[in-house]
Chain A
Amino acid sequence: MRPDDRRYLDTHEWAKLDGDLVIVGITDFAVEELSNGNEGDLVYCDLPDVGRDIDQGETFGEIESVKAVSDLNAPVAGEIVEINNEIDEHLEVLSEDPWKKGWLIKIKPADKSLDHLMDAEAYEKHIAH
């Protein structure tokens, strides 16, 4: 079971409420799909500039593996107030700890509700089929 302290997108990002902010990352399932278990197959993660306003569902970045590029989608609308600078040089943190150390961005949301996203149980069902 994935952590139930956060919500999930069907495109495999997670969103966690942390005070006034929403922390965003990608799931272990996403990392596995991208890298097929070989962390060296992840080559690049493009993150946005701090201060950018984004809409819910908007692409805020891209993650690239040896074989493909995939979009990163915003779970909520708001302002990007922080990005994880460690990702750029240390993509392996995504494989090691996608839930905590591998966070990608923090958003100051227009609306703190995450009710439109899947809970852990729904996400488990989503990736099971």
Chain B
Amino acid sequence: MKPTRLRSDGPRIGAGAVSNPYTLRPMSDAPLLETRLHGVHVAAGARMVPFGGWSMPVQYASILEEAERVRSRTGLFDLGHMGRIDVTGPDAVPFLDGLVTSFVAKIPEGAIRYGLVCDEKGGPLDDLLLYKTNANHVFVVANASNKASVLAWLEEHTGSSDVRITDRSDELAMLALQGPNSQAALQPLVEDLDLSEVGYYKFRFATVAGIPDVRVSRTGYTGEDGFEIYFPDEESERVWDAVLEAGAPEGIAPIGLGARDTLRLEAGMPLYGHEIDREHNPIEAGLDFGVSFKEEKGDWIGRDALAAIKENPSRRLIGITTDGKRVPRQGYALFHGDDEVGAICSGAVSPTLGTNIGTAYLPVELAQAGRTVHMDIRGKRQECVVCDIPFYSRKAK
């Protein structure tokens, strides 16, 4: 048994594997990157963990209480680790239409779509948000851990396209307010825009905390109403404090990546490295809404492979709930009788549902709500019931 010195990446009471999204990638010797708000998080008592090469706050208080706050009031997230990329030039839109799954030419100006960048086999390099500023400019948000590979992939495929790719991650801060009170919390800081005019998956530019031209979008990764804002990084601390102050009457508090993971899982949103990766395609993940096979879009990398999978899928991403005490964790095997039929992608204690939840791929014939499967935890079996995802939808309230 090798001695385990406690590190900031979660508890290691024993020598066994600790399974959570924040230890997804093996630790390298490379120093972790820090957002400009790192010191603010530490001073607020956050537990910092490695995530996608960054040192990020996993929680400030109880993960469950933080999740509940976002569902009932509002919470503030530092997302400075995310990759943000400008794709500009006369060919920006057709260039992206050849590389991403969504139909970029059809995105209205001022709107946002979800899409993925896939390889020829339809295996995602990453999933993205695509902000169409205008015909010459698409602003792309990528996952922290995949930013480098997305940038390289885009550069590699420019060919003769008149397009420029610019990594803007370092110069821009990114904060999210998530929860039903988010609009009320943010509005006092926004002088020249009525936030109620910003529709779901739409964005505008506004003056926020005195900073002009801040990109404000009605987007998020929690299943709640909320906003994501992008502004010059050097203003990070000032805006962070201003949002916490302005949102205090609405019950705002900083929220860590632990609750963010619980919330996105409840809302059925995939996390790269869990529900999707090079071996897990968007069709079987149920992300069809982000994949366009329209002829007008033209050909794109991965199209043929994904069209074939759509015709004949072998597995499907489903949810499981379990009344047992054990929490589903990535990698736990699922059994149907004596047959191993799948494995857990993500799992969490769900404060919203009051039960433990998870996602998994199952063969299509088993991927039906109401079916029973068993989760194996070192030889002990725990019953799980298959359900559709999302587990939670605010519209269903």
Contacts and interface: CB of A to CB of B under 8 A. Distances in A.
A73 B329 CA distance: 21
A43 B16 contact: no
B interface, over-half SS? loop
A84 interface: no
Interface of B: 1, 3-6, 10-16, 18-20, 22, 47, 58-59, 61-65, 258, 325-327, 329, 348-349, 377-378, 380
A33 B11 contact: yes
Contacts of A126: 5
B325 A11 contact: no
Contacts of B20: 67-68
Given A10-B4, A11-B1, A66 B327 contact: yes
A interface, over-half SS? mixed
Contact of A43 (B6, B349, B378): B349
Contacts of A127: 6
B236 to A, nearest CB: 25
B62 A40 contact: yes
For chain A, give the interface size range: 20 to 34
Nearest to B349: A66
Given A11-B14, A34-B11, A67 B258 contact: yes
A55 B166 CA distance: 57
Given A43-B325, A68-B10, A71-B16, 16 more contacts: A11-B14, A34-B11, A36-B47, A57-B1, A59-B16, A64-B325, A64-B327, A66-B327, A67-B10, A67-B20, A67-B22, A67-B58, A67-B63, A68-B11, A68-B18, A126-B5
Interface of A: 10-13, 26, 29-30, 33-34, 36, 38, 40-41, 43-44, 46, 57, 59, 62-73, 126-127, 129
Nearest to B261: A67
A66 B256 CA distance: 13
Contacts of A26: 13
Nearest to A88: B325
A30 B64 contact: no
A72 B1 CA distance: 12
Contact of A34 (B13, B22, B348): B13
Contact of B14 (A59, A65, A67): A59
The 5 closest A-B pairs by CB, nearest first: A71-B14, A71-B16, A70-B13, A38-B62, A33-B11
Contact of A65 (B5, B11, B22): B11
A59 B1 CA distance: 10
A6 to B, nearest CB: 17
A126 B4 CA distance: 10
A92 to B, nearest CB: 14
B336 to A, nearest CB: 23
B10 A11 contact: no
A71 B325 CA distance: 16
Contacts of B1: 11, 57, 73
A31 to B, nearest CB: 9
Contacts of B10: 33, 67-68
Contacts of B47: 36
B6 A71 contact: no
A65 B12 CA distance: 12
Contact of B11 (A30, A44, A46): A30
Nearest to A61: B14
Nearest to A126: B5
A66 B63 contact: yes
